[in-house]
Structure 1
Amino acid sequence: MANLISFDWAMKRLLRQKSNFVVLEGFLSTLLNEDIKIVRMLESEGNQEHEADKFNRVDMFAENSKGELVIIEVQNNRELDYFHRMLYGVSKAISEYISKGEFYSKVRKVYSINIVYFDLGQGKDYVYHGRTEFQGIHTKDTLGLSASQRKQFTYQKVEQLFPEYYVLRVNEFDKHALTPLDEWIAFLKTGKIPARPQAKGLKEAKEILDVSHLSDKDRLRYNSHMEALRYQASVIETGRIEGREEGREEGREEGREEGIKEGMKKGIEEAQKTIVRNMKLANIPMETIISVTGLTEKQINEL
């Protein structure tokens, strides 16, 4: 079985090339249950108005044949405010792709697709879909479009005008791949593709994402990327454990509720210092340290 490149790294390097769009088109068509054709890739960091924006960037930002915007993001590390990050990304995409003076009807439809490798929220499923509906408080009916609106907007329902969100909780998938979407989720989790995949795009992915097809330079970059991910995961988990233990110990010594809170705070601060120190020693880029820790560059340098 071929050794395949991880999907997140492939999005940053290989899948942005027009000749390789077939892989993403297959993934999107399977997830959205419609035929998706990508016209072009858009710049994820094009209009950064301030320093923090570049750390909220998405992995991929595309336009499909209908003129709709598609955001695809892969997140490996736990983020408590990830739902807010999803909202930020969609809001920014909408505001950036409408010109001043244009009618509101020109607002673009946005799909936010989030592939997360941690337990985001609480739920039993591994794929969640979110969209906007307006329900009557008293009648419980769903607010719809008028006949003239349906004609003008070419949509049949209000929900089709608003952004749609997909959350793929990859680590929660523990079943046999029985459907095309399951095959894609299984690949995202294990990096393996069956000999005869049924899902659209996976056959091509098996060829395009083969590590042996990388140049020596790209293979070195890819191995460094995977090592950095493993190291980050290890450092974060170590810091979390140490922070809890130091906090408990400090709390026991104080013997009061305030002491427990203060001890936990001190423990987390010490763990954070350890994480930053280790990541610096590993020559991990500053922007990655900022993204992982949530600290500013100034705070990191002070540590």
Structure 2
Amino acid sequence: MYDLLDPKNDFVFKRIFGSEENKDILLAFLNRTFLEAGEPPLTEIILMNPYTDKDSPRDKQSIFDIQARTVEGKLINIEMQLFNKYDNEKRTLYYWSKQYSSQLEKGQAYSKLRKCVTINILNFSILPNERYHSVFHLREDHSGIPFIDDMEIHIMELSKLGLQPIPNEGGLLNWLLFLKSEDTSNWEVLKMNEPHLGKAMTALEYLSQDAEARRLYEMRQKALHDEASMLEGAREEGSFKKAVEIARKMLAKGKDIEEIVEFSGLTVEEIERLKAH
């Protein structure tokens, strides 16, 4: 008998949701997500960074988020976060802005910019509300009119699912309960509610029986735990000083700023100042 791998591990999550053969799973998940935001369903999705064998925990350059584009050009980024890296709101805006601004090549008009959607699935809580799925847009405070529809941020907090009853119909909650995977006894009900979840469950079971996939999973799980411990240690031991030490070491090794921001917790501006001295 084998233990199921944790689908919240970003390596496993991308294997299930971010591969070409499972694109229908991703599409079904996205459509349930957008339905809750009052948006029309998608008919097709294009994976911009599909999973390949090069996406290995052994390669520090591997990206385990999922980047996709709709046929209309809307960009979607989905990231699974197992541990709290702190400053999540600023980190989310930073990566959203990178995705948005990177669309334009030199000399292109701003009209070429397309909507960017960020979906962060968190195994912890950051928002002071009871909702497990929160959706953010740019709107005017008093009238609620949209400034522009180009920004959309979804925060899904799996830690807030504890009091949710098992649904008796389709919807996003079924997908999030699968991802939380604390109780597999409800899987048959979830699968009846959301047929595409059956394929996701089969993919997870297959991966869990694959010796090489399990080895890579354990490697990634260790890296995630080490990263979480390093970040927690940085906060407990005079957090800023420790973060600066981490950033200096990473700069000396030629790491890029995005990776240093993620591992050290420092801002881009703080890292740029370290580079200048």
Instruction: Give the TM-score of the pair, scaled to structure 2.
Output: 0.69
Take 1:29 and 1:159, find their aligned partners in 2: how far apart are those partners? Answer: 24
Give, as a single letter, the amino acid of the residue that structure 1 aligns with 2:179. Answer: L
Deviation at 1:87? Answer: 0.9
Instruction: Select which of 173, 181, 186 maps to 1:190.
Output: 181
Residue 226 of structure 1 pairs with residue 221 of structure 2: yes
Q: Is the Cα–Cα contact under 8 Å of residues 77 and 118 in structure 1 kept in the other structure? A: yes
Q: Is the Cα–Cα contact under 8 Å of residues 130 and 166 in structure 1 kept in the other structure? A: yes
Instruction: Select which of 149, 156, 171 maps to 2:159.
Output: 171
Take 1:29 and 1:73, find their aligned partners in 2: how far apart are those partners? Answer: 17
Residue 291 of structure 1 pairs with residue 255 of structure 2: no
Q: Name structure 2 gaps, 5 residues minimum.
A: 51-59, 247-255
Instruction: Give the TM-score of the pair, scaled to structure 1.
Output: 0.63
Structure whose CA Rg is larger: 1
Equivalence map 1:40-59=2 (5 Å): 40-43=46-49, 59=65
Q: Name structure 1 gaps, 5 residues minimum.
A: 45-53, 144-157, 244-263, 277-285
Deviation at 1:12? Answer: 3.5
Take 2:229 and 2:265, find their aligned partners in 1: how far apart are those partners? Answer: 17
Inter-CA distance 291–122: structure 2 relative to 1 (3 Å threshold): same
Root-mean-square deviation over aligned CA pairs: 3.7
Deviation at 1:113? Answer: 0.4
Inter-CA distance 288–216: structure 2 relative to 1 (3 Å threshold): farther
Give, as a single letter, the amino acid of the residue that structure 2 aligns with 1:177. Answer: I
Deviation at 1:119? Answer: 2.0
Deviation at 1:9? Answer: 1.7
Equivalence map 1:238-277=2 (5 Å): 239=233, 243=236, 265=238
Deviation at 1:120? Answer: 1.1
- Per the alignment, residue 3 of structure 1 pairs with 4
- Which stretch shifts more, 20-29 or 217-226? 217-226
3-state secondary structure, aligned to 2:104: coil
- Per the alignment, residue 112 of structure 1 pairs with 118
- Per the alignment, residue 257 of structure 1 pairs with none
Give, as a single letter, the amino acid of the residue that structure 2 aligns with 1:13. Answer: R
Q: Is the Cα–Cα contact under 8 Å of residues 132 and 160 in structure 2 kept in the other structure? A: yes
- Per the alignment, residue 54 of structure 2 pairs with none
3-state secondary structure, aligned to 1:161: strand
Number of equivalenced pairs:
235
3-state secondary structure, aligned to 1:123: coil
Deviation at 1:240? Answer: 7.9
Q: Is the Cα–Cα contact under 8 Å of residues 75 and 117 in structure 1 kept in the other structure? A: yes
Take 1:72 and 1:38, find their aligned partners in 2: how far apart are those partners? Answer: 16
Q: Is the Cα–Cα contact under 8 Å of residues 85 and 228 in structure 2 kept in the other structure? A: no
3-state secondary structure, aligned to 1:20: helix
Deviation at 1:32? Answer: 0.7
Instruction: Select which of 114, 121, 125 maps to 2:127.
Output: 121
Residue 65 of structure 1 pairs with residue 71 of structure 2: yes
